[in-house]
Amino acid sequence: MWRDPIFINGNWLDAAQTFPVYNPATGEEIARIADGGAAEARRAIDAAEKALPAWSSTTAHVRSAILYRAWQLMLEHKDSLAALMTEEQGKPLKAATNEVQYAADFLLWFAEEAKRSYGETIPSARADQRFIVQHQPVGVVAAVTPWNYPVSMITRKLAPALAAGCTVVLKPAESTPLCAIEVFKLLHQAGVPDGVINLVTAKDPAPIGEEFCTNPAVRKLTFTGSTAVGRTLGQRAGGQLKRVSMELGGHAPFIVYKDADPVHAAKGASLVKFLNTGQACICPNRIFVHADIVDAFVETLVQRVGKMRVGAGTEAGVAIGPLVNAAAIAKVDAQVTDARDKGAQVVCGGQQLQQGALGKGHFYAPTVLTGVTDQMLIYKEETFGPVAPVIVFNDNDDVIAMANDTSYGLAAYVYTQNLSQAMRAFEGLQFGIIGINDINPTSAAAPFGGMKNSGLGREGAREGLMEYMETKLGGFSI
C-alpha cells in the first residue's frame, strides 16, 4: 500500500493521519493517503502566494514550454495513469485511457494558448490620450476537483491557471487522490517551479474548503462537483469577493424528433447515457422521444443496453463499471423504485448486481425505463447512474418547454434531420452545451460550462484562460 504525503512548495510532506482509498469494483483498500486539513491548506496557500511574483513574471513562452513538456510526459505515462484510474475510480480501462488523452489535450491547448493572452489598444476621443488593455494573472487559485474524471478535471483547471501565470492549491476528491498525486509528479517533473502547484489531500474536505473561501491570499476559487456544495462554497467565497468559476450538476435532456432515425438516435443515447456508468454531469437524464418513433427507439436502446457487460474495469469487454460508493447505489435504486411505484415500466435492468464477484463492489444493472412522467423523482433529479428514462412527447414546442423545465442548464442533445428544427432547438434550449446529432460536443478547444444551477464561467477554449486573468486598463496622456 502507498502512503503518499502532501505536496507543498516542491516537497512531499508527511501527515500525522492517513485515510484509506478503496477500489469500488472490489471493495478492497488499495492505499492510505495523507489526511490534511486547514493547517496544511494554509501552508500550501502561503507557498503559492510566495511563488506568485516569480511565476507571474515569467514569459508566456516559458510557461508554454513547461506545459508542453507536461503534455509529453502525460502521453508517455498514459497506460500507467489509465490503469491507476481504473483501479481507483472504476471506469473501464478503455474509457480511462481516453480520459488521460483528454486530460493531455488541455495541457497542449493551454501550452499554445498561453502565448495568445493578447491585450489591445482602444482609440480615445481625446487626441492626447491612449488606452492600453493588458490581461494579468488573477493570483493564487484554489481548485477542487471531482472523483468521476480524476485526471482530466485537474488539467482542465491547472493548465489554464498555469498558462495565465497563476499559482495553485488543489484539493482532489477524497475518493480519487492517487490520480492527483501522479499528475502532480508529472507536472513537477515537467519543470513547474516549487510553490507554483500545491496538493492537499484529505478525507474531510470541509476544513480545506473553508480555508479556500476565507483566506485572503486566495483570489480565485474553481470547483467542479455538486450544485449544493458549489452553492455553499460560492456563498462563502463571496464574502471576500473572490473570483469564482464552477461546473456543477446537470439534468440533460435528449430530444429525438419525429424526423430522426430512431435506430441511430438510440445508438447515440446508449453511448452517452452510460458514459462512465452514467456518472457524468453531461449524461442525459431525460430522454424525450416522439410518440411516432418511440417503439423503434426503445427496441434498439434495450438491445444495446442488454448487451452491456458489467464488471471490473480491468476485465476485457466491460462497458459498465462500478458506481462510486454504496450511497450512489442507494440513490439510483431509490429513483428506479419510485418510478416503478408510480407506473413506469422497467424494460431492462432495474436492480443492484450482487452475484459472484460483483457482490464485492458497487454495481447496478444498466437500466431502461419507459412510461416515465413528470411526477417521478428521476424526471426532476440528477441520477448519476446507469438508468435511461424514456419520456414520450407529441408536440415540438412542448418538448422544448419540457426540456427547459429544470433548474439545471449544462448539456442537452437533439436528434433531427431538419436544419430549421435543429436551429430552433439550439436557440431555444437553455443549456450551455448542445449536441446536435452529436453525443460528444466537448473538446479542449471548446468552451465547457452551464447556465442556471449548472455553474458559473467556462473551462477550456480561450474563455478558459480568461477565467484566470484580470483585465487592466492603462490611460496614457501624451
Domains and CATH numbers, the chain: 6-248+452-477 (3.40.605.10), 252-436 (3.40.309.10)
Which are the catalytic amino acids?
247, 281
| Residue range 337-352, pLDDT digits in tens | 999 999 999 999 999 9
Confidence tier at 289 by pLDDT (50, 70, 90): very high
Separation of alpha carbons 450 and 470, rounded Å: 22
Rounded to an integer, what is the distance from CA 255 to the centroid of its chain? 23
Q: What is the pLDDT of residue 239?
A: 94
pLDDT computed for residue 4 by the predictor: 60
Q: What is the pLDDT of residues 116-174, one digit of tens each?
A: 999 999 999 999 999 999 999 999 999 999 999 999 999 999 999 999 999 999 999 99
Give tens-digit pLDDT for 56-97.
999 999 999 999 999 999 999 999 999 999 999 999 999 999
pLDDT tops 70 at residue 238:
yes
Q: Percent of the chain beyond pLDDT 70?
A: 99
Query: What is the mean pLDDT of the segment spanning 47-61?
Result: 98
Q: Is the pLDDT of residue 5 over 80?
A: no
Q: Is residue 1 very low, low, confident or very high in pLDDT (cuts 50, 70, 90)? A: low
Better-predicted residue by pLDDT, 68 or 5: 68
**pLDDT at residue number 202:** 96
What is the average pLDDT across 275-281?
A: 96
| CA gap 416, 244 in Å, rounded | 37
Cell of 45: 496557500
pLDDT in tens, 184-224: 999 999 999 999 999 999 999 999 999 999 999 999 999 99
Q: What is the 3-state secondary structure (H, E, C) of the chain?
A: CECCCEEECCEEECCCCEEEEECCCCCCEEEEEECCCHHHHHHHHHHHHHHHHHHHCCCHHHHHHHHHHHHHHHHHCHHHHHHHHHHHHCCCHHHHHHHHHHHHHHHHHHHHHHHHCCCEEECCCCCCEEEEEEEEECCEEEEECCCCCCCHHHHHHHHHHHHHCCEEEEECCCCCHHHHHHHHHHHHHHCCCCCCEEECCCCCCHHHHHHHHHCCCEEEEEEECCHHHHHHHHHHHHCCCCEEEEECCCCEEEEECCCCCHHHHHHHHHHHHCHHHHCCCCCEEEEEEECCCHHHHHHHHHHHHHCCEECCCCCCCEEECCCCCHHHHHHHHHHHHHHHHCCCEEEECCCEECCHHHHHCCEECCEEEECCCCCCHHHHCCCCCCEEEEEEECCHHHHHHHHHCCCCCCEEEEECCCHHHHHHHHHHCCCCEEEECCCCCCCCCCCECCCHHHEECCECHHHHHHCCEEEEEEEEEC
Mean of the per-residue pLDDT values of the chain: 97
Predicted pLDDT of residue 14:
80
For residues 284-299, give the mean pLDDT. Answer: 98
Q: Rounded mean pLDDT of 285-292?
A: 98
- Residue 262 to residue 203: CA distance in whole angstroms: 46
* Predicted local confidence at residue 16, as pLDDT: 85
Q: What is the pLDDT of residue 15?
A: 84
- Looking at residue 2, its pLDDT comes to 58
Q: What is the pTM of this model?
A: 0.96
Q: How far is CA 231 from CA 210, 228, 243, 457, in A?
A: 13, 5, 14, 14
Instruction: State the Cα–Cα distance between residues 150 and 434, nearest whole angstrom.
Output: 24
What whole-number distance in Å separates Cα of residue 92 and Cα of residue 475? 56
